[in-house]
Amino acid sequence: MTGRLLAPRIRPDRAADVATRASLIGNQRHRATRARRVRRSVRLAARGLAIALVAGAIVMAGRVALDWIHHTPALAVAAVEVEGLSRVSEETVRQAAGVTPGTSLLAVDPRAVAARVEALPGVKQARVIRGLPRRVTVRVEEREPYALVNAEGLVWIDAEGYLVGPERRPGAPGLPILSGIARNGVVGGRAPSSRIVAGLALVRAVQRAGGQMAGRISEIDLAPDDGPVLYTTDGAEVRVGDTDWSERLTRLDGVLADLERRGERVSSVDLRFRDLVVLKPRAIARERR
């Protein structure tokens, strides 16, 4: 027989007793734990929903308050004051600033306004201050005129080569006039060209030469590629090359003083050679003209 034989000494397996005290207690604990987990999940969900509702309400209230602040007449610009001007017109600064009455103080960007004003010819630096009640102040530091440039009309530049503005009252300048520069080579707010930088260096060398040099030179032509050409007050052309200006100008001061003592006039002076001065006498025919 293939089946299992029952013998007197072999007892059948006992069925599990599901009604014991231990099994009942285990089932109760399992149901209690699951109920606690459900209640905890519900509490967490309710708390998260409450926080989300509160946060949304705060954001909405903030937006409403911010919109009110930006549009309330209490913070609207009523006056734009400009300080520190002597040459640049106040209206020009106001237009560049671009702050119109009624604009909210909070909408005014001081850095952006200052950058627009500093782009104006003649303005070196600008500072913008928002103040209560309802006021914007633009404080301007102007560029100081240093040398005149003949660029299709006389204009002033400062000691760094930046444009200051046009010369409206022609007169005898104390320093030589710079020429040989196109009009577009002198632009406010843009870095000065290499020719202007060289011209200013030569003007300073003329000042340092001493004697009567500054009064004897009327113009510096920056156009030639082989170095600037100076013109004296009596029309003589002076070539000084593009290096060693201080030494050559000192020699020039002595040469011009000697010619003046002897009553001689020349059409050109060439100082480009070491230890040599080449003079070209002025022709009599040209003298009579």
Q: Which of 59-68, 136-145, 248-257 has the lowest mean pLDDT?
A: 59-68
Count of positions (residues) in the chain: 289
Higher per-residue confidence, 37 vs 118: 118
Structure-token pair, residue 33: 């734990």
Q: Are 193 and 185 in contact (CB under 8 A)?
A: yes
* Domain co-membership, 282 together with 152: yes
Which residue would you say has higher pLDDT here, 238 or 72?
Answer: 238
Range ranked top by mean pLDDT from 70-79, 144-153, 205-214: 144-153
Residue 117 shares a structural domain with residue 192: no
Is residue 138 in a domain? yes
CATH (domain of 119)? 3.10.20.310
Higher-scoring residue by pLDDT: 53, 142: 142
Q: Within 13 A of 236's CA, how many CA atoms are on the CB side?
A: 26
Q: Which of 107, 124, 142 represents a domain boundary (last residue)?
A: 142
User: Would you call 135 helix, strand, or coil by DSSP?
Assistant: strand
The Cα 20–Cα 28 span in angstroms is 13
How much is the pLDDT for 288?
A: 35
When comparing pLDDT for 232 and 68, which is higher?
232
Final residue in a domain of this structure, among 142, 175, 198? 142
> Region 68-88: what's the mean pLDDT?
78
Are 180 and 273 within one domain? yes
Mean pLDDT of 154-180: 85
Give the type of residue at 190: R
Encode pLDDT of 275-288 as tens digits: 888 999 887 544 43
96 and 196 belong to one structural domain: no
* Positive or negative torsion for Cα 131, 135, 136, 141: negative
Least confident of 86-100, 110-124, 180-194: 180-194
Do 80 and 181 sit in the same domain of this protein?
no
Amino acid making up residue 228: P
Using the predicted structure, report yes or no on whether residue 26 has a pLDDT greater than 80. Answer: no
Q: Does the pLDDT of residue 21 top 70, yes or no?
A: no
User: Are the C-beta atoms of residues 188 and 121 closer than 8 Å to each other?
Assistant: yes
Based on the domain organization, do 98 and 153 belong to the same domain?
no
Lowest-confidence pick of 131-145, 178-192, 222-236: 178-192
Instruction: Report the CATH number at residue 253.
Output: 3.40.50.10960
Query: Is residue 182 located within the same domain as residue 158?
Result: yes
**Residue pLDDT, tens place only, 110-166:** 999 999 999 998 999 999 999 887 889 999 999 999 999 998 788 999 999 998 988
pLDDT, residue 286, reads 45
Q: Which residues constitute the domain of residue 95?
A: 74-142
Can you give the pTM of this predicted structure?
Answer: 0.66
**Per-residue pLDDT at 1 exceeds 90:** no
**Whether residue 211 sits in one domain with residue 97:** no
